[in-house]
Structure 1
Amino acid sequence: MTVAIVLSSVLLALVLALALMLPSINSPTVPFGVRVPAQHAGDPTVIRQTRIYRRRILLSGFAAGGICVVIYAMTAETLLLPLSVLVLVGLWYGCFFLANHEIRAAKAAGGWYKDLHQGIAVDTELRTNPPRFPWLWLAPALIITLATVVIGLTSYPTMPGILAVHHGAKGVPDRLAAKSIGTAFSLVFVQIGVTALLVGIAAAIFRSRPDIDPAHPVASARWHRQYMSLSAKALLGLAAMIDLGMLGSSLLMWTGTVTSWAPLVVVLPILAAVLVAIVVLARNNRERDDAEGNTGLTHRDDDKYWRGGLFYINREDHTLLVPRRFGLGWTLNFGNPRAAMLLAGVAALLGLLITLRFDG
């Protein structure tokens, strides 16, 4: 069994498990991205659509596995990992949209928000007494990047004249380039770029708008602060693991090592970090019950700002990031012009990194 098959199978299993778990770990008042009052969270339509969604997801997993077999039979191993995962994610969101549509229809037909007192709760202390950013968690990424630079500078004189700048799915170098500072240290630029990007996203999370439950505002605000801190730590930990993968790949390039397990040097640390982040965030993705009394208010029905329950578009909201309705973490406010600027910046960074890898 090749490395590509192993990695594809592990990643597919991870994505499939997350897709199956999400209805249970997301807030019960936003089933499949639809805002519903708490008293309708257990509506028969919601329960039925959850059951149908999971059945469809399992069938999608078999379909994605079949795609893997076809791709492997055609010997295109380099496409095995990205295509198999993309197929599963595409089918996953198709299942999500079907459930979203049915629950929205039931909500409208049943008048679930009729005669309810809707409200908005705000944590005013987020600006005057914000939670501390976990800067200490940035240290591993910085140390690994600095170590990569130091090792690279030390070993540069003894590096081979021709460097393997990319390895295929079987670990065999499939792209070579003459030794130069740009070539030898191309992955250092990747480390710097990725670390800066993830730190920026983590900082933006601390300035995001919380989705506080007006029925239990104190407990909800407390949970939001803790979840922000956990999310930032998860991102900084992911940055460190990506940097570690880049360090391992750099060592293979600098020493001219050829081995079938070369792809694992990059992928395993990242997969491990992603798995830990998913487990930690999933365990803390829902507000915990406490003794706080119910104010009698319910969340404002704001479905009009969520296209398909996934994409938030509100030009009147100046926040860049908002909590996801289905999934873990945050999503962009696509009605904010800064979202387009951020996406353009990420695209430019990726283009630069790809250029460095190909032309270095």
Structure 2
Amino acid sequence: MTVAIVLSSALAALVLAIALVLPAINSPTVPFGVRVPAQRADDPTVVRQTRIYRWRVLLSGIVAIGVCLAIYGMTGETLLLPLSVLVLVGFWYGCFFLANHEIRAAKAAGGWYEGVHQVIAVDTELRTDPPRFPWLWLAPALIITIATVVIGVISYPSMPDVLAVHYGAKGMPNRLAAKSIGTAFSLVFVQIGVTALLVGIAAAILFRSRPDIDPAHPAGSAHWHRRYMLLGAKALLGLLAMIDLAMLGSSLLMWTGTVTPWAPLVVALPILAAVAVAVVVFARNNRARDEGEEDTGLTHREDDQYWRSGLFYVNREDHALMVPRRFGLGWTLNFGNPRAAMLLAGVVALIGLVITLRLGG
């Protein structure tokens, strides 16, 4: 019970902190997902909506967490604690959409792009000289997965005849299944699927993403984007290693029949720690630094028509599979690219695998 409270509180605090700081670490030329000229980045409408957004997020977060904790205190239902995080995320994006709508309206009414010289800047060397894939960062995940397989194979004959395939919030097994290859190695299959999926996403970031280069400082922006793409791939592979470590710990619990109230920590703690570190690293490096490059006087092309509510990018003419997020950290899919559907199908297949193996026994 205490473990569930600690984990849910930590996750809620992380989500709330991200929501509050995002306006400060995202590019000033896309406030709340709306493309604006650099000279309009500090427009009174943008400043006011940023302030209102933060108050809305803070208050809604306090209310969501407070209500769920109060209900938990009356019912003792631990499911409400992680549910509070989902409610908080919903409030967060609701606050974002309100700010996005107001800035779009002000931009249209004020003719912010009238008389502005719009261009598209590209890094032509990305295709001929892309960043190198960080293979060393993949090694820990591969080693952990191989170790899980080896330990499982050696331990299989001595495993209990009935395995605990799922643990509740209190660390007690709440689903049992007869020992079989499919049951005992279910998390290994998940490890392999997660590894293939996240390695594919890391490769897509490096080789199939399009950087959003600032025409006002094209050289410095292109240099920063190269470093940011490599950082993103490393962070993703680091997260993958922690996911595989959590899978190893969960498998060991199942194989040995161990019952402990700390079982949820075995799965959640490595992943939560990796996410927290990745968020801090991304937040510190999410905006290009001024490298003293002379301003060209040019600005980004107005391209809001390709962004649905500032979050979803749909452009069939753009061959990039992934593009930098306008509000948030990392990248998002180009939903106008047919290969995005293949990647989403892979995610759905992985979820289906987890459900089949963990629920089907």
Gaps of 5+ in 2: none
Q: CA deviation at 1:51?
A: 0.5
Counterpart in 1 of 2:322?
Answer: 321
Q: Are the aligned partners of 1:71 and 1:80 in contact in 2 as well (CA < 8 Å)?
A: no
**Distance between the aligned counterparts of 1:291 and 1:59, measured in 2?**
40
Counterpart in 2 of 1:52?
Answer: 52
User: What SS does structure 1 have at the residue aligned with 2:79?
Assistant: helix
Which moves more between the two structures, 310-319 or 141-150?
310-319
Counterpart in 2 of 1:118?
Answer: 118
Structure 2 matches for 1:247-286, cutoff 5 A? Answer: 247-286=248-287
Which moves more between the two structures, 266-275 or 308-317?
308-317
Give 1:11's aligned amino acid. L
Structure 2 matches for 1:10-25, cutoff 5 A? Answer: 10-25=10-25
User: What SS does structure 1 have at the residue aligned with 2:193?
Assistant: helix
CA deviation map 1:216-249 (0-9, x unaligned): 1100000000000000001000110000001111
Percentage of pairs with the same residue: 81
Counterpart in 1 of 2:138?
Answer: 138
CA deviation map 1:18-76 (0-9, x unaligned): 00000000000100001111111111111110000000011111122134225423333
Q: CA deviation at 1:359?
A: 2.1
**Distance between the aligned counterparts of 1:328 and 1:307, measured in 2?**
17
Gaps of 5+ in 1: none
Give 2:106's aligned amino acid. A
User: What SS does structure 2 have at the residue aligned with 1:49?
Assistant: helix
Q: Are the aligned partners of 2:37 and 2:300 in contact in 1 as well (CA < 8 Å)?
A: yes
Structure 2 matches for 1:149-160, cutoff 5 A? Answer: 149-160=149-160
TM-score, normalization by structure 1: 0.98
TM-score, normalization by structure 2: 0.97
**Distance between the aligned counterparts of 1:339 and 1:239, measured in 2?**
21
Give 2:164's aligned amino acid. A
Q: CA deviation at 1:320?
A: 1.2
Q: Are the aligned partners of 1:8 and 1:80 in contact in 2 as well (CA < 8 Å)?
A: yes
Give 1:241's aligned amino acid. M
User: What SS does structure 2 have at the residue aligned with 1:248?
Assistant: helix
Q: Are the aligned partners of 1:26 and 1:325 in contact in 2 as well (CA < 8 Å)?
A: yes
CA deviation map 1:309-329 (0-9, x unaligned): 111111111211110000000
Q: Does 1:181 align with 2:216?
A: no
User: What SS does structure 2 have at the residue aligned with 1:314?
Assistant: coil
User: What SS does structure 2 have at the residue aligned with 1:77?
Assistant: coil
Give 1:234's aligned amino acid. A
Q: CA deviation at 1:10?
A: 0.6
Q: Are the aligned partners of 1:322 and 1:332 in contact in 2 as well (CA < 8 Å)?
A: yes
Counterpart in 1 of 2:129?
Answer: 129
**Distance between the aligned counterparts of 1:77 and 1:294, measured in 2?**
54
**Distance between the aligned counterparts of 1:70 and 1:339, measured in 2?**
41
Counterpart in 2 of 1:191?
Answer: 191
Q: Are the aligned partners of 2:163 and 2:177 in contact in 1 as well (CA < 8 Å)?
A: yes
Q: Are the aligned partners of 2:121 and 2:214 in contact in 1 as well (CA < 8 Å)?
A: yes
CA deviation map 1:290-316 (0-9, x unaligned): 121111110001011111111111111
RMSD: 1.1
Q: Are the aligned partners of 1:45 and 1:106 in contact in 2 as well (CA < 8 Å)?
A: yes
Q: Are the aligned partners of 2:198 and 2:240 in contact in 1 as well (CA < 8 Å)?
A: yes
Q: Does 1:230 align with 2:221?
A: no
Q: Are the aligned partners of 1:78 and 1:168 in contact in 2 as well (CA < 8 Å)?
A: no
Q: CA deviation at 1:200?
A: 0.5
CA deviation map 1:87-135 (0-9, x unaligned): 0000000000000111111111111111010001110000111111101
Counterpart in 1 of 2:62?
Answer: 62
Q: Does 1:288 align with 2:289?
A: yes
**Distance between the aligned counterparts of 2:296 and 2:271, measured in 1?**
43
**Distance between the aligned counterparts of 2:154 and 2:210, measured in 1?**
46
Q: Are the aligned partners of 2:197 and 2:346 in contact in 1 as well (CA < 8 Å)?
A: no
**Distance between the aligned counterparts of 2:6 and 2:291, measured in 1?**
44
Which moves more between the two structures, 342-351 or 245-254?
342-351
Structure 1 moving runs of 4+ over 2 Å: 73-76
Q: Does 1:5 align with 2:2?
A: no
Counterpart in 1 of 2:84?
Answer: 84
Give 2:318's aligned amino acid. D
Q: CA deviation at 1:80?
A: 2.7
**Distance between the aligned counterparts of 2:275 and 2:108, measured in 1?**
38
User: What SS does structure 1 have at the residue aligned with 2:211?
Assistant: coil
Give 2:323's aligned amino acid. V
Q: Does 1:30 align with 2:34?
A: no
Give 2:236's aligned amino acid. L
User: What SS does structure 2 have at the residue aligned with 1:171?
Assistant: coil
Q: CA deviation at 1:150?
A: 1.1
